[in-house]
Each structure stands twice: as C-alpha cells, then as structure tokens.
C-alpha cells in the first residue's frame, strides 16, 4: 500500500510539473478546443496543423522582437492581414522573411515600436497573438466606422479642394467623425466618415445620400475631369488598403508630375523556376512593407517568398511572386505596370511636408474652418488623418506650399495664430528621398542579363538566410 501511495504521489507531482510548463498561444488555443465526438484523430491532427501558430519572442534578437506565424496552409491575402496588424500598431519591421511555397507557410518579422524599442507591453503582445490568428478574420476588422456613413471620393486635386469638400458637407449638415485623405501626382482619394449633425445617426435616407453624392461630384468635377463620389455600400476592413485600391482604380500611377521620383523598383522573370522577382530599394519609412504587399495582393499576385532587410535608413525588399493561377508576369507591358504601381505605392505616403497636429474640442464645421484657413494662407493639404475621440478632435495635416514646395514658416505661424497656437502644434517630418543608382549602361539594374544573375544570386542568399534564421542550418 505504501509503495502504491508513493507511485501515485510521484504521478501527481509529474502531472503538476507538466502543467506548470509554459505554453505558446497556439497550444493554449488547441488545448482549449472541445473536440466534437465525430472527429477522429486524423481530423484533429489536420485542424491542429491548419491552426496558425504565433510565437512572439524577445530573447532571439537583442534589438528587436521576433514575431513568427506559421501554419500548414495559406489563403490568398493572409500575408497582407499579418502585415496589416503590425501596421495598425505602428510597429516598424526591420527585417522579415516570408515563405509560403508548397503546403506550409512561415512568416518571421523582426519588429520594434515607433521609438525603436522591443515590445514589452503585455497588452500589445496579447493583441498581436489574437490578431495574427488567421483563423479568426473578425479579429482583424476595423470597427472604427461602425455607426457611420462612409463617403469615397476620387478625382483631380487642386489647391483648396479639401476645404470645399468639408464646406459642402457642413452645408449639408453632415458631421465629419473621421477622414483619411491622400494626394498623389495631381489626384486625390478620400475616405470620409460622416453622421447626421443633429441626430448623430448614419445617413440612412437614400435621397439625401444621392444629394450628398451629387454635390460632392460637382465640387470634384469643377474642371471637367474624371472623378467619383459615392456612399460606400460594400464593407471594407481597412482604410489604408481601401485608399490604395481607390488610387489604383483612379490610375494615379499613370499620371506624371514634376515631383515624381525616379523608379526604385526592378522586376525580372525567372521563368525556369516559375517566379517573377521584384526588388525594391529605397529609403525606409513607416508602413512601407504594408504598401508593397497590399499593392501586390490587390493586383492578384501571390507572394511566395520575400525578404526585408533594413540597414540605417535604407531598406531592400525582395519578393518572389506569381499570379494566382501560378503563372509569371506575361509581357513587358505588364512588367512596366507592376513597376509603375509599386512606385506609386511608395510615393503616396512619401513627400517632404510639414506635419500639423490639431487637438481641440470638437464642434460643428470645425474642419471647414481649419481647411479654409490653410487655403487662405497658401497652404496645400497633401495628406490628412482626421479622428474624433470623445468630444475632442485629434487631426493631423501634412501641408506644403500651393505649388508643392516646402511650406512657408510665416504662413504656418499665421495659421497657428488664427486657430490657436495652443491647439495647433508643428512637427517637421522629413520624408525619405529615394536612393537610385548612377545611370550608366554598364551598371543599369534594368539590364536583362544582369537582372537574371541578380535574381539567381538573391534566391540563393534568400534560401540560406531563411534556413539559418529558422534554425534549420548552422551558421
């Protein structure tokens, strides 16, 4: 009896010690599953394999937090969802390795917060673990637009246009609860979230919605150019992605402007391996990886492999892509379109401007008054992020001179004095200029023979780097 009690006590201690071992988030989710009675062991194994495993590790790298996501299957767009989560938390991706060829995918990101520090906030880490679960698409939905009416606007940009748009909305008794505005190469795209000024309810009346669309279209179409103004009917989960789609549909990449930057994108085919290879080389900036992956995904490309390597303020990104049907880029015209679209995606958030931050008690027609003040002082709003938190307006405007030159400091001070210097703060932001190589025929990256050699070399180094970083080979 004593021997039996001793064995039972040993078994109990062993089970207690096993229960004390740390589990990763995927193991916890799987352990918490209540398996239906009709599932056999093989079916349970398949479910376990297809449940994404998320690992967040602060011990691997001394300067960044490692975020790894892997699973037995990848649907189109899952990589974008993962990058989107990092983007929404304002995390900086210093290095990344992405692979999804075959029946398994693995994405590894080395990230820091916006101050360059590793992630130590447990709430942020917990949010990452939940949001990167690709099996739960509801986690990644942006709920900020619930209870609001979304307006989508695209058309030719001009000085003072944004002021006119907000003035029309104020006249139509629409309260702007949030807005994001991008301009690029003489075009503008806006997502504006409004509600009724009196009731605070969404714009539900069909006739009123059509009237709003018609008035906004008149403002955008002042010069007779193509434009679009519509109340959004389809649900979209991410504002930045939707703006990329609006700009792409508006063909902003096909327009030129004096401020356009020389291409930092090269594309070549590696037909014998079934890939098209995209190289992006430019100065780094926040959200660049998201902009690249978003554009490739919306052009119906699958990123089979990819790397990101950032050193200082320079970044190099490399993607091995295919069409969804498995084919590579089919023609020189398609290749040029990919280059143009990716270059446009780089430029949409990259411009030298002055950042103005407005934090003030919200009131009706506030945006109309502020943007009119910008226009009257010769300032052009090239990007804007408008939000309301409780009864406070928290808005960010990126402004230049009317011709796109750096904003005049006297004009900025005049605007601050008019609005209130205690409410409107100035923060200079120098957005990156792009690094491009000397234009000599011998060193030109566009040379087909050299491009093929670069592609072969990069794939070899890509594979070795991934195997090493995933711990499958030794240094």
Nearest to 470 by CA among 106, 222, 208: 106
List all residues 6 or more positions away from 283 whose beta carbon is below 8 Å from its beta carbon: 313, 314, 315, 432, 433, 434, 435
Nearest to 26 by CA among 60, 71, 67: 71
Assess contact for 342 and 303: CB atoms under 8 A: no
Q: Which residue has the tokens 């899952």?
A: 78
For all residues of the chain together, what is the average pLDDT? Answer: 80
Assess contact for 244 and 291: CB atoms under 8 A: yes
Q: How confident is the model at residue 21 (pLDDT cuts 50, 70, 90)?
A: very low
Output the pLDDT for position 260: 52
Assess contact for 191 and 166: CB atoms under 8 A: no
Residue 282 is encoded by which pair of tokens? 């430019």
For residues 295 and 60, give the distance between their C-alpha atoms in angstroms, rounded to a whole number: 31
Q: What is the pTM of this model?
A: 0.79
Q: pLDDT by residue (tens digit) across 100-115?
A: 876 678 899 999 998 8
Query: Averaged over 249-256, what is the pLDDT?
Result: 87
Output the pLDDT for position 329: 94
List all residues 6 or more positions away from 268 whose beta carbon is below 8 Å from its beta carbon: 276, 277, 448, 451, 452, 454, 455
For residues 362 and 435, give the distance between their C-alpha atoms in angstroms, rounded to a whole number: 42
For residues 71 and 51, give the distance between their C-alpha atoms in angstroms, rounded to a whole number: 6
Residue 147 is encoded by which pair of tokens? 């209870």
Output the pLDDT for position 437: 37
Distance of alpha carbon 361 from the chain centroid: 29
For residues 111 and 55, give the distance between their C-alpha atoms in angstroms, rounded to a whole number: 13
Nearest to 188 by CA among 216, 153, 214: 153
List all residues 6 or more positions away from 355 whose beta carbon is below 8 Å from its beta carbon: 396, 397, 398, 426, 427, 428, 429
Q: Can you give the three-state secondary structure of the chain, one letter per residue?
A: CHHHHHHHHHHHHHHHHHHHCCCCHHHHHHHHCCCCCCCCHHHHHHHHHHCCEEEEECCCCCCCEEEEEEECCCCCCHHHHHHHHHHHCCCEEEEEEEECCCCCEEEEEEEECCCCCCCCCHHHHHHHHHHCCCCCHHHHCCHHHCCCEEEEEEEECCCCHHHHHHHHHHHCCEEEEEEEEEEECCEEEEEEEEEECCCCCCCCCHHHHHHHHHHHHHHHCCCCCCCEEEECCCCCCCHHHHHHHHHHHCCHHHCCCCCCCCCCEEEEEEHHHCEEEEEEEEECCCCHHHHHHHHHHHCCEEEEEEEEEEECCEEEEEEEEEECCCCCCCCHHHHHHHHHHHHHHHHCCCCCEEEEEEEEECCCCHHHHHHHHHHHCCEEEEEEEEEEECCEEEEEEEEEECCCCCCCHHHHHHHHHHHCCCCEEEEEECCCCCCCCCCCCCCCCCCHHHHHHHHHHHHHHHHHHHHHHCCCCCC
Q: From residue 249, give the alpha-carbon distance in Å to each of 46, 234, 288, 299, 406.
A: 40, 16, 20, 11, 29
Residue 149 is encoded by which pair of tokens? 């009416």
Instruction: Calculate the CA dihedral of residues 428, 396, 144, 233 and round it to 10 degrees.
Output: -110
Q: How confident is the model at residue 236 (pLDDT cuts 50, 70, 90)?
A: low
Lowest mean pLDDT of 13-22, 99-108, 111-120, name the range: 13-22
Which is it for strands 424-429 and 353-361: parallel, antiparallel or unpaired?
A: antiparallel
58 or 469: whose pLDDT is higher? 58
Assess contact for 383 and 353: CB atoms under 8 A: yes
100 or 303: whose pLDDT is higher? 303
Query: Above pLDDT 70, what percent of the chain?
Result: 71
Select from 3.30.70.260, 3.40.630.10, 3.90.1150.10, 3.30.450.40 the CATH code of 146-237+351-429.
3.30.70.260
Output the pLDDT for position 31: 41
β-bridge partners, 112? 92
For residues 399 and 32, give the distance between their C-alpha atoms in angstroms, rounded to a whole number: 51
Q: pLDDT by residue (tens digit) across 418-469?
A: 999 999 999 765 443 433 333 333 334 334 433 433 443 444 454 445 444 4
Output the pLDDT for position 448: 41
Query: Averaged over 400-414, what is the pLDDT?
Result: 92
Q: Which residue has the tokens 């807005």?
A: 179
For residues 305 and 447, give the distance between their C-alpha atoms in angstroms, rounded to a whole number: 23
Lowest mean pLDDT of 56-70, 71-85, 154-168, 401-415, name the range: 71-85
Q: How confident is the model at residue 132 (pLDDT cuts 50, 70, 90)?
A: confident
Residue spans in the chain of domains classed CATH 3.30.70.260: 146-237+351-429, 265-349+437-469
Output the pLDDT for position 226: 72
Half-sphere exposure of residue 117: CA atoms within 13 angstroms, side-chain side: 4
For residues 385 and 400, give the distance between their C-alpha atoms in angstroms, rounded to a whole number: 16
Query: Averaged over 338-364, what is the pLDDT?
Result: 92
List all residues 6 or more positions away from 127 whose beta carbon is below 8 Å from its beta carbon: 89
Residue 274 is encoded by which pair of tokens? 């079934």
324 or 182: whose pLDDT is higher? 182
Q: Which residue has the tokens 């190589």?
A: 437
Query: Averaged over 43-71, what is the pLDDT?
Result: 79
Task: Indicate the fold that domain 265-349+437-469 takes in CATH.
Answer: Alpha-Beta Plaits (3.30.70)
Query: Averaged over 316-345, what is the pLDDT?
Result: 94
């Amino acid at each position: 009896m004593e021997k039996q009690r001793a064995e039972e006590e040993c078994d109990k201690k062993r089970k207690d010690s096993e229960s004390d071992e740390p589990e990763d988030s995927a193991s916890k989710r799987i352990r918490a599953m209540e398996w239906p009675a009709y599932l056999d062991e093989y079916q349970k194994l398949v479910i376990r394999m297809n449940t994404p495993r998320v690992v967040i590790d602060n011990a691997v790298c001394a300067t960044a937090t490692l975020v790894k996501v892997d699973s037995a299957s990848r649907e189109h767009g899952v990589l974008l969802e993962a990058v989107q989560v990092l983007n929404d938390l304002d995390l900086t991706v210093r290095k990344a390795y992405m692979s999804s060829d075959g029946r398994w995918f693995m994405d590894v990101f080395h990230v820091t917060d916006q101050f360059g520090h590793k992630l130590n906030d447990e709430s942020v880490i917990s949010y990452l673990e939940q949001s990167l679960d690709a099996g739960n698409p509801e986690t990644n939905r942006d709920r900020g637009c619930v209870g609001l009416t979304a307006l989508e606007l695209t058309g030719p940009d001009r000085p003072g246009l944004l002021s006119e748009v907000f003035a029309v909305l104020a006249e139509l008794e629409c309260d702007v609860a949030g807005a994001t505005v991008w301009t690029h190469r003489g075009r503008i795209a806006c997502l504006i979230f409004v509600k009724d000024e009196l009731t605070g309810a969404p714009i539900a009346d069909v006739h009123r919605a059509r009237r709003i669309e018609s008035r906004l279209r008149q403002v955008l179409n002042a010069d007779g150019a193509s434009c679009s103004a519509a109340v959004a009917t389809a649900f979209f989960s991410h504002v930045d992605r939707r703006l990329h789609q609006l700009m792409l549909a508006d063909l902003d990449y096909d327009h030129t402007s004096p401020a356009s930057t020389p291409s930092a994108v090269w594309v070549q085919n590696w037909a014998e391996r079934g890939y098209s290879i995209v190289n992006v080389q430019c100065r780094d900036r926040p959200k660049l990886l998201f902009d690249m992956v978003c554009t490739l995904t919306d052009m119906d490309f699958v990123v089979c492999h990819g790397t990101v390597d950032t050193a200082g303020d320079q970044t190099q990104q490399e993607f091995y892509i295919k069409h969804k049907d498995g084919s590579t880029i089919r023609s020189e015209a398609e290749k040029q379109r990919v280059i143009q679209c990716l270059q446009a995606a780089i430029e949409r958030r990259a411009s030298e401007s002055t950042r103005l931050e407005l934090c003030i008690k919200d009131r009706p027609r506030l945006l109309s008054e502020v943007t009119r003040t910008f226009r009257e002082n010769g300032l052009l709003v090239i990007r804007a992020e408008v939000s309301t938190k409780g009864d406070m307006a928290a808005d960010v405007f990126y402004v230049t001179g009317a011709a796109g030159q750096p904003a005049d400091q006297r004009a900025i001070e005049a605007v601050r004095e008019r609005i209130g210097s205690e409410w409107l703060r100035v923060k200079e932001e120098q957005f990156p200029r792009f690094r491009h190589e000397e234009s000599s025929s011998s060193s030109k990256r566009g040379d087909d023979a050299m491009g093929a050699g670069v592609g072969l070399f990069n794939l070899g180094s890509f594979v070795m780097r991934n195997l090493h970083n995933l711990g499958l080979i030794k240094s």
